[in-house]
Structure 1
Amino acid sequence: MHIDHENELLDKAKAVRLASQKISGKSEREKNNALREIAEQLVKNTRAILSANQMDMDHAKEKGMPNPLLDRLMLNEKRIHTMAKALEQLAELHDPIGDVLEKWVRPNNLHIKKIRVPIGVIGMVYEARPNVTIDAAGLCIKTGNAVFLRGSRSALQSNKALVSIIQRALRSSDFPPESVQLLEDTSHDTANKFFRLNGWIDVLIPRGSSRLIQTVIQQASIPVLETGAGNCHVFIDETAIPKMAISIVLNAKTQRPSVCNAIETVIVHKKWFDRYGTDLIEALQAAQVNCRIDPLEANQFPELPIATEEDWATEYLDKIIAVKIVDSLNEAIHHINHYGTKHSESIITENSDHVAIFFQKVDASTLYHNASTRFTDGEEFGFGAEIGISTQKLHARGPMGLNVLTSIKYLIEGSGQIRE
């Protein structure tokens, strides 16, 4: 279908706003049926999705897209089945809409209830990852919200195929298909207008690179739920069990390097490193990770490039890791709070006092003890899916699931009271 880009933005904004008013009152059963229908259609249309994704992949390779971003863009049968499974899991979760959060009675006998309600229209701004299309649509449908998607040019064919399948499934589920809209005009000028659709979009959620997130924050006139880039760390404390520490670092770095909860720096206590540092470096190298070593240990590992100030601050999203050596827990915490992006941080230690201090003093949305940072994920937390990982401190923090996509409403029952 030909899209008139000049009118597309406002036409779809009006349609998604109208749809949001229609779906806000849908029952839990109706919403769950829609989610299951989308899941079924995803699996049935796997071949069409993969064909569209291959077009995006071919174009991205021609443009020289880096491997980490290619990995984010790529779909295969396993990933499509994973997306479908996430929708089925969402359908099994409790619907938060209508939940009574608080209730009380005032001295004048007014009965007050505070309940969860849909936000309205969510504007989703994201890069490369077509799975976000499904996550965002699923979470919004479950919470009675409509969603206006603005993906990147690199994933346009994949996103068009996915949204077409979603809308077809919604139509067969007696849902307004306009509940999920895709902005096909990916120009920067139209994006800037998208960020200023006050009255049509209630909140923007950017998900992608630090550059994208900052662009949305700086240019938007709509409230923004800020997600964050992931310059994450594992700190190996003096008492860390060597085998556990090395295993966690390898998982946090290599299980999927291109995602935001992978670590970029391993911080190691000097006493631990003196005993087990060679084992750690050799394990990373065996996993084909390029190590950049703290200048303090340059003599011990002359073959490794020396880590710079830029390395401490870089989100590589690749098989590259910086190795920082510290003399104390406080020095590790200082480094994390200075260079981290308030995403996910882990301490490997057998000292419970150090765990308590780390948990208290590290400023991040998600903290771990003796576990990989790769668990910072809506599905891993039992949320079914996530619409992003918030690193801000207002309204939402950490993996954002269903409850984050709700607002509140106060309902007051009276018996003729008037204010004097």
Structure 2
Amino acid sequence: MTVHHHSGVPARQPWATRGQLIFFPSIMLLLLIGILVGGQSLRQQIQTQDKSLELNLVRGVHDFNQLQREVNRLRLQLVHSHSTNTKDFTLQLKITQSRFTIIQRHFLSRSLDTQVSTIKDHLVRSWLSLKPDLKQWQQEPTNTKVQSRIIDQLEKLELDINQVSLLNQRQQWQEYQSRIQRHSHSLQLLSIITILFCGFTLLVGYSLVQFMRTRQHLLETVEQLATIDDVTQIANRRHFNAVFIQEWERMLREQSCLSLLLCDVDCFKAYNDHYGHQAGDSCLFQIAQTIHSCMRRPSDFAARYGGEEFVIILPHTQLSGAQAQASVIQENLQKLALAHAESIISDYVTISIGIASGIPQLELDSHQIIEQADKALYQAKAQGRNRSCSSEF
């Protein structure tokens, strides 16, 4: 069956549904922006840490090289003690000590593996064991025995420094590589989370859109059920009331003619008694579809008024046009030729039509045109049915 809608009444817009459709993507978008911002912050933090590790690695290499250079200078000054000034030796000793202090601070800020820690401790002990001999030699520059012992120890110290430097570089490089790998895993995890979130958002968004479409379809179905007559599948009395008030006010503003046709099936009670209520419903449906098929303009409107009565609204239609429309409806119903054995008028189903037409005025009540159409219908029945009578207001 075809369901007919009247174009003059706009469907209610589901603003709440639209609001929900906007709200969910907004939340998802904000969460996605939060993930992207967090990811950018993580990347910046990783870059900062990488630069810090690179700087520590370069600084460690530089500090060990400097320490090895200062120890070598100190040893050379002892080798060439005959040309070395005591003041220069004391200054070089202070510089070497400061380099050892820098190296110790460098180690204190890091966790060392066992091998590096053992050699570092040996290095510090070797330097501390040298201090008494260095002090003694400063007091006795001619003591060749002490001088020779210090030179041997400084040579070993240089070797130890070189070994610690290599091991330290190796450990720092391993730490750097490990940190880079962890950072890579973090970024990969963030990328996976972002992809999964986007996929989840699309899935939930699609599900929500489908839900909203289903909900909207149900709302339209409910609205249709509220405005469409079950038996005839055209507009019901409730829908007619809304459309009639709307058209009355529109014709009042435009000062244009409005016509109303009130139709009643002749001898319908006898039809129901003879053929049964199911056949009566089928008869009403065919009459309604016939009437509706006669509507030529989008603004023309037909509805079931109640029982076996139908009503037609014809905006911008004068009395002559309404009478012509009534004739067309009766002619089409005659062509339909629905048998009616109990009719006192004809062998077929017929209808009587009352017409009211005029230009709405402020002093008039919209219900007056319905009363006039009803009076015209009563007059058509009184004159023998299967005809139309009309009046102007």
Q: Which structure would you say has the larger Rg? A: 2
Q: What's the TM-score, normalizing by structure 2?
A: 0.19
- TM-score for both structures, normalised by structure 1: 0.18
* Higher share of residues assigned helix: 2
Give the number of the structure with larger relative contact order, counting CA–CA contacts within 8 Å between residues 6 or more apart: 1
